[in-house]
């Protein structure tokens, strides 16, 4: 086993470079938890690195709320459009693409190319819009499993994600236990709390009550519920940052140095939130946002086992790494402990780390040396297992 990359080595590491998304079409029915079924579906994905001859070095990256299949690298015609986990995945990075074949995939119900509300409903010949079914974490994992088959991957070296992505990594370990060696679960919770659901509900109500929502069929009407999506994103952003990080980044700083007694932007934090809201409302689809927040709400593997999480996680065969962040008040370390305790109860192989990071939930996306050092070291171990 070689020495784990040091933090400075990681910072200096290169990118996977220019990448090209691909589309896989699956002409098989996909039954969904809601009782409906897709006759077939497409998944957009990207890959980085090379699948080895043994097909043992594949790592699936599952995305969270607003992300996509574009995990690392950039597009040749859009050099500034880098992947959302560029600091984590690449040559010499914690998930080292010189060793691992890494796959990013956009989930069904999404708005980045996979079958979703923007796609054509083959039965009507028109875009699905508000008629697209509600999807769940388990549906996503089932769809991803078809992609694994398509790529000839019987067993992933690891399935990995943060936040909602981590829920998928956990669902993989229970639904397809023999198909992954490791599950890497970062900033996760075994189920949303009432407060988590409450924030999602505020976001949804902002969208649904926007007069431009039109029951989800806004594209047909030539409208878009941008006002609602903007407010939804603003409220989301508050929950991604810790109180301290917000205080550190913005505090009570005034935009123009003095109070103007107006409802325009007075404080820097307002400027930041409005900017985030506007940006998001311009590129994200409201029907997707509604579905993704509902998928979060519904995720609750223990529910079918009378609330017994250990029973729900009984099928897990993978080695599991659980990582939480001290200041994450959205999915607090205590919620990660529930996952760890359930796995320990089952005598599963589980490692746990709580990273003392100031950034709140968003920490899982940031370049913290201890966090990246830990993930790098864990993938060193995986490499040692899977290297021929």
For its own copies, the binding residues (CB under 8 A) are: 33-35, 133-134, 191-195, 197-199, 201-202, 204-206, 208-211, 227, 230-231, 234-235, 237-238, 241, 243, 246-247, 249-252, 259, 261-263, 266-267, 269-270, 273-274, 277, 290, 294, 297-298, 300, 303, 329
Cα distances (angstroms) measured from residue 228 to each of 122, 208, 279: 29, 7, 13
Counting Cα atoms < 13 Å in the Cβ hemisphere of 335 gives: 24
Instruction: Single out the catalytic residue among 63, 70, 359, 361.
Output: 361
Q: Which residue, 80 or 261, has its beta carbon nearer to its own copies? A: 261
Q: Which residue, 159 or 234, has its beta carbon nearer to its own copies? A: 234
CB of 292: closest distance to its own copies in angstroms? 12
Instruction: Single out the catalytic residue among 114, 119, 163, 242.
Output: 163
Instruction: Single out the catalytic residue among 210, 285, 328, 368.
Output: 328
CB of 167: closest distance to its own copies in angstroms? 15
Cα distances (angstroms) measured from residue 355 to each of 47, 64, 93, 295, 360: 29, 20, 18, 27, 11
Q: Which residue, 33 or 383, has its beta carbon nearer to its own copies? A: 33
Q: Is 93 exposed, middle or buried (0-12, 13-18, 19+ CB in 10 A)?
A: buried
Catalytic annotation present for 361: yes
Q: Which residue, 13 or 238, has its beta carbon nearer to its own copies? A: 238
Within 8 A by CB and 6+ apart from 359, the residues are: 241, 242, 245, 325, 327, 366, 368
Cα distances (angstroms) measured from residue 170 to each of 137, 187, 355: 10, 12, 20
Catalytic annotation present for 368: no
CB of 222: closest distance to its own copies in angstroms? 16
Directed axis angle between helix 286-298 and helix 137-150, to 10°? 100
CB of 232: closest distance to its own copies in angstroms? 9
CA dist 208 and 264 (Å) reads 25
Q: Which residue, 149 or 276, has its beta carbon nearer to its own copies? A: 276
H or E element in which residue 263 lies: none
CB of 364: closest distance to its own copies in angstroms? 19
Give the residue numbers annotated as catalytic, written as ranges: 163, 328, 361
């Amino acid at each position: 086993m070689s020495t784990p990359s040091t933090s400075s080595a990681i910072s200096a590491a290169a990118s996977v470079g220019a990448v090209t998304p691909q589309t896989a079409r699956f002409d098989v029915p996909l039954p969904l938890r809601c009782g409906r079924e897709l006759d077939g579906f497409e998944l957009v994905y990207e890959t980085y690195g090379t699948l080895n001859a043994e097909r043992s070095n594949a790592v699936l990256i599952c995305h969270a709320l607003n992300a996509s299949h574009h995990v690392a690298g950039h597009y040749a015609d859009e050099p500034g459009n880098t992947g959302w986990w560029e600091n984590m995945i690449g040559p010499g990075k914690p998930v080292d693409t010189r060793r691992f074949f890494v796959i990013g995939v956009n989930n069904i119900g999404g708005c980045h190319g996979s079958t979703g509300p923007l796609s054509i409903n083959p039965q009507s010949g028109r875009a699905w819009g508000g008629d697209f079914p509600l999807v769940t974490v388990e549906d996503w994992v089932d769809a991803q499993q078809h992609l694994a088959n398509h790529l000839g991957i019987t067993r992933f070296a690891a399935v990995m994600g943060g936040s909602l992505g981590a829920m998928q990594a956990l669902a993989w370990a229970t639904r397809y236990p023999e198909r992954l060696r490791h599950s890497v679960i970062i900033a996760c919770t075994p189920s949303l709390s009432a407060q988590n659901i409450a924030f999602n509900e505020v976001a949804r109500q902002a969208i649904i009550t926007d007069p431009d929502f039109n029951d989800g069929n806004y594209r047909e009407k030539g409208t878009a519920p941008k006002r609602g999506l903007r407010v939804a994103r603003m409220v989301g952003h508050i929950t991604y940052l810790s109180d301290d990080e917000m205080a550190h980044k913005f505090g009570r700083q005034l935009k123009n140095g003095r109070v103007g007694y107006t409802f325009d932007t007075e404080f820097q934090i307002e400027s930041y939130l409005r900017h985030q809201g506007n940006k998001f409302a311009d590129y994200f689809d409201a029907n997707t946002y509604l579905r993704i927040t509902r998928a979060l709400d519904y995720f609750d593997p223990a529910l079918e086992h009378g609330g017994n999480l250990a029973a729900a996680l009984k099928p897990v065969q993978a080695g599991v790494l659980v990582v939480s962040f001290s200041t994450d008040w959205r999915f607090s370390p205590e919620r990660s402990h529930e996952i760890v305790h359930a796995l320990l109860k089952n005598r599963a192989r589980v490692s746990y780390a709580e990273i003392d990071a100031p950034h709140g939930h968003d920490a899982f996306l940031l370049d913290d040396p201890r966090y990246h050092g830990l993930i790098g070291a864990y993938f060193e171990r995986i490499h040692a297992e899977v290297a021929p």
